[in-house]
Amino acid sequence: MKVDISDGIDSGNLIIRVLTANTVLLSLLTDEKFKGKVIHPHANASKLYAEHGFAVSIEINHNEIKKKFLFDTGGPRNAILPNTEALGINFEEYNKLILSHGHTDHFGGLLNVIPKLREGCEIILSPNFYNQNIILVPKSGQEYFSSDILNEKYRELLKEKAFLFNLKIPVLNRNIFENLVNQNNLKIVEITEPIKLTNGITTSGEIEIFDENEVTKGMYLMKSRKEFAKNTFRDEISIYINVKDKGLVVLTGCGHTGIVNTIKHGQKITGINKIYAIIGGFHKEWEKSEDIEESVKFIENLNPEITCGMHCTGFEFNKIMSARGHPSHTLGVVGTEFHL
């Protein structure tokens, strides 16, 4: 499905603020090479909290009309609440809340955020958001297990202690969520197709997989206590923003479908090939260095002005990006602002 965001946003009218991420740093300096487009919090970081979670604020000024969107609500420690207070952000100003996917590090603060949103605010998510996910990462050096192998030998593998990481991800209780939404006069919008949020900005809908190797390994859909299915993350939603004369801003929650797939999907559905900025979680922390290198080369060839992988992106991606010296590379922490 194509979506027309060719109307775009004038340069200088888009602000993205990191509300929740894994890192807080007072000493991270704002790099002058970005000319005010990337601003780190410096001493203000002393008021902020880190957690394993992700949330950003998107603010658009168009023809003197301000629109604000919230992308995710961080993790279960609810760092989004003190952080928004410290940053002077009012939840009632948000027109829509978009949930990137059904993992608790992205919806953890949701039930506490809902009562603070304005009446009529839309909460946009995939109907696949409520699926049960499980993480099964094999011991170091072993290949990831196929769902067929797990279906056949899961209990055996448990006895053999074959997993380095074995975690069933908590799911959002649909009844509690829907009741709370109704109590606060909000609206749930379940989508699988892209939806235009306002001039120049769209959600991704289900992200097309061009390269299966890019998809996060070690995560499965859990159908029953011992029945597993391959996870292609049909619940995942990214956001694409067209900044006039600059190109697409690609905003990801975790990038489980693969950052390269996410970018290619955005180019395909919008018809805009030029990439201006790539911001969010890229989920590269479990990948081999050679696979990360391929993703880095792809991004370098796009030549964006800003590449900021945070949250689940992992140390190796940022190490490789930094070592290669691409001028777009920067780090993102709680309180980082992008003025695009």
- Using CA of residue 24, residue 125, residue 65, residue 3, what is the dihedral sign? positive
| Of residues 195, 194, 296, 304, the one with CA closest to residue 249 | 304
* Residues 125, 255: Cα–Cα separation, whole Å: 15
pTM > 0.85: yes
| Per-domain residue ranges of the chain | 14-339
Secondary structure tally for the chain: helices H, strands E: 8, 18
Q: Write the DSSP assignment of 247-274 as a string of letters.
A: EEEEEESS-TT-HHHHHHHHHHHH----
Rg (CA), the chain: 19
Neighbours of 291 (CB within 10 A): 16
CATH number of this structure's domain 14-339, picked from the four choices 3.40.50.1100, 2.40.50.140, 2.40.50.100, 3.60.15.10: 3.60.15.10
Neighbours of 271 (CB within 10 A): 12
**Per-residue pLDDT for the chain (340 aa), expressed as one digit of tens each?**
899 999 999 999 999 999 999 999 999 999 999 999 999 999 889 999 999 999 999 999 877 789 999 999 999 999 999 999 999 999 999 999 999 999 999 999 999 999 999 999 999 999 999 999 999 999 877 889 999 999 999 999 999 999 999 999 999 999 999 999 999 999 999 999 999 999 999 999 999 999 999 999 999 999 988 899 999 999 999 999 999 999 999 999 999 999 999 999 999 999 999 999 999 999 999 899 999 999 999 999 999 999 999 999 999 999 999 999 999 999 999 999 999 9
* Residues 257, 283: Cα–Cα separation, whole Å: 9
